[in-house]
Each structure stands twice: as structure tokens, then as C-alpha cells.
Structure 1
Amino acid sequence: MGLTASMPFPLPAAAHDDHAAMVVMRDDCDPNDTGYAPTGGCLRKEGDVSFAEFGVELSSPLAPTSLIGHQAWRMDPPYVEIEPDDTVMVRNRGGRVHTFTEVRDFGGGKIPSPALNKGLVTAPECPVSTDIAPGGKAEVGGLAEGNHHFQCCIHPWMRAVIKVKRED
């Protein structure tokens, strides 16, 4: 699998034409909420999820482990189908740093927080994951046929599956 991160700048619309699909990492952090400041702040221009609201949803005992975080933090779409030799553009449209890390099995993230991981074991691929800054992008290519699991190793409920298969 090849993942190439790049500088965070907006791409012109035509730049997406070279990719079979796009996955967008989203979050709706409130840029005016100082609660995000100790962990890098929120670099969105707009957003309405306060740090307190984010924390309440993380700590809810009602949240199942497959949905352990705030749903404004997500991969969109969560499922993509491509053909062999296609590439996928991954864009961070959120205000927080995210990763797009291929993992054998979905699991916890690299930040050892009970609130973030809800008892899930850290996916072994997460400690060496590559951060993608707000506004940044990465390309994923060279995937073998089959299903490939990707997650944000900071917010491990952010997940996507890329299915590679030959066109019938």
C-alpha cells in the first residue's frame, strides 16, 4: 500500500479527476472553543461541536464500541470500490489532525485514552501512522484485490473500507 501525504492546500477541482475515488475525513470542531487548544486547537473556519460536547459523547456508556466517538468525526464515504491500479484521494476537511492508516483489523488508536479507545486494543499499525494536517491530502494506491480497512489512529471510530476488485 502506498500512502503519500502532502502539504495542506486546497486542490483545484480538476486535480481530483486522476483518482478513482475520494474519501474525506470530516470533523466539526468549533474553532472558537479554547478547549481544543491543549491538543493543537481547531483549524476549521466553521464548526459547532464544542470540546465539552465531544467529551460527553466520548464518555457515554451507551456508545457501542463501533461508534465510540462523536459522529461529526467520520470518513465520508465509509465504503469505496476501486479497480486494481486505481488511486484514492484522501482529504482532511476537518479542523483536527487525522490519520488514514491501513489496519488488518479495526481497533483502538495510538492515543492511550480510555475515552478514545473504549477498551479496544490499539491496532498494531497505529504507532507508525502518518498524520494528515487539516486541509492536507494523501493518495492511496497499489492496493491488492480484496478489502482494505483504514482508520484514523487518533479518532479510531473514523473508519473506511476500500474494496479493490476487477470490473466484471
Structure 2
Amino acid sequence: MYLKCVMRRPRAVVGLATLFPAVILIGCSDLPSPTDASLLAPSASAALSKGGSDHAGAIVAHDACDPATFNAALNDPTACMKEGHTAFQDFIGELVATQTARAWRFNPLQATTHAGENLLAQNVGGETHTFTPVHQFGGGFIADLNGISGNPVPAPECLNFPALDFVASGEKSLISGAALAAVAVNGVAKVECCIHPWMRAEVRIK
């Protein structure tokens, strides 16, 4: 199964000190479906099938997408699966104005784990998110969101589609201790969403 990614590119219009984005439809390449079981790393799938207890802590993804406007704008009835209060146009407008959408965030921003331990990745938002360990924070795989969020250079890990773990609304996965250790610098690993690259957290490994 494949997910057709359709985003809208904002064109900022400044007037009376207010930024009003106009949007034009563009397309992007087919990406793996977030519901495809093959996207879960084997260790994550195995642990979650046992109840998800093989982890030391958690990073939780939040967002506030409004299903009616997000699903219409993205031409996908499953783009936003939970009631939120932010319309798609307002989401784009906030990104254009501030390079972030505050309701789209990881919590906590700083987590702690022990060497070799996994972290739970939990998505309580309405959109799909990734929890991708990266060497350095950067952009994701959607060029338009990279541009308006001030992250023009993608993190290389976000372009490695076969390795990305797409976590759908209401779902859980695991961030492996090995993956965190592989990107850690001075005992700190970075984790970001490769769809919404301003969603970031740091994990201190003891």
C-alpha cells in the first residue's frame, strides 16, 4: 500500500502587518503507507505484540489538526483522524509566520534513558508522525514544510524511507536503544518527526 502525499505551498502576502498565506496545490512522490505493518521495525513489532512493556520511558507526539480542513486540503479522508482545533489554513499561516506550529510537538522535549534501553513512541495526535533518531536536526522529506519551517536541508535519516517508522494516530511503536546509541553525540541522541521537522526531542543516555 502507498500513501499519495499531497501538500500545499504557501505564498505569503503581507498586508497591515498580517501574513496571509494563499495556497496552491502541488504533488509529491508516493511514500509508504503509515498503516503498512512492514514499516514497523521487527523489534518494535515484537515488543508491542507483547504489550509494549519493553521500554524505559516515552516520547509522545501531539498535534491539533482539524479533520474537516486537513482531510479536504490533503485530499485524504485519513490525513487527520482525531478532532483538533487548528484549521489547515491556520496551520500553514502559523508556520509561515513563526516557522513552527506550537501544537505540533513532542513531549517531553528532553528524555532520559539507559544505554541499550528502548523508548516508547506514542502518537496521541490526529496525524501520522515519525520518531526518527538523527545525527543532527534538519528537515524532513516534505520540501514545502521544510522550507516554511526554516529547515531547508533534510536530515539524511529522513530520506531513508525503508527505515522510517510511520506511527499512525492513536498508535505506538518503539525507538530502539541501538538506534539512539548510533546517533548519540556526547551521550545525547536527537529524535525528530520526518514529516513535521520542528517536532524534536533530545534523549540523554546514561
| TM-score (norm: length of structure 2) | 0.65
Matched, 1:73 2:111: no
2:60 maps to which of 20, 24, 40: 24
Structure 2: give runs of 5+ residues left out of the alignment.
1-39
Instruction: Please tell me whether Structure 1 or Structure 2 has the larger radius of gyration of its CA atoms.
Output: 2
Matched, 1:155 2:190: no
User: What letter is aligned with 2:80?
Assistant: C
Q: Secondary structure in 1 aligned to 2:68?
A: coil
Could you tell me which residue of structure 2 aligns to residue 84 of structure 1?
Answer: 115
Matched, 1:132 2:167: yes
Matched, 1:54 2:81: no
How far is 1:115 from its partner? Answer: 4.2
Write out aligned runs for 1:31-50 (5 A): 31-33=67-69, 34-38=71-75, 40-44=78-82, 46-50=83-87
How far is 1:18 from its partner? Answer: 4.6
How far is 1:141 from its partner? Answer: 2.6
| TM-score (norm: length of structure 1) | 0.78
Could you tell me which residue of structure 1 aligns to residue 37 of structure 2?
Answer: none
1:118 maps to which of 143, 150, 158: 150
Q: Is the 8 A contact 1:98 1:152 kept in 2?
A: yes
Could you tell me which residue of structure 2 aligns to residue 97 of structure 1?
Answer: 128
CA RMSD, 1 decimal: 2.5
Q: Give CA deviations for 1:123-162 in whole Å, capped at 9, x if unaligned.
A: 1110122211111211123343711101001100000111
Q: Secondary structure in 1 aligned to 2:197?
A: coil
Q: Is the 8 A contact 1:92 1:134 kept in 2?
A: yes
With over 3 angstroms needed to count, the CA separation of the structure-2 counterparts of 1:49 and 1:153, relative to structure 1, is same
Task: Point out the structure with the larger helix share.
Answer: 2
Task: Point out the structure with the larger strand share.
Answer: 2
With over 3 angstroms needed to count, the CA separation of the structure-2 counterparts of 1:5 and 1:93, relative to structure 1, is farther
Q: Secondary structure in 1 aligned to 2:93?
A: helix
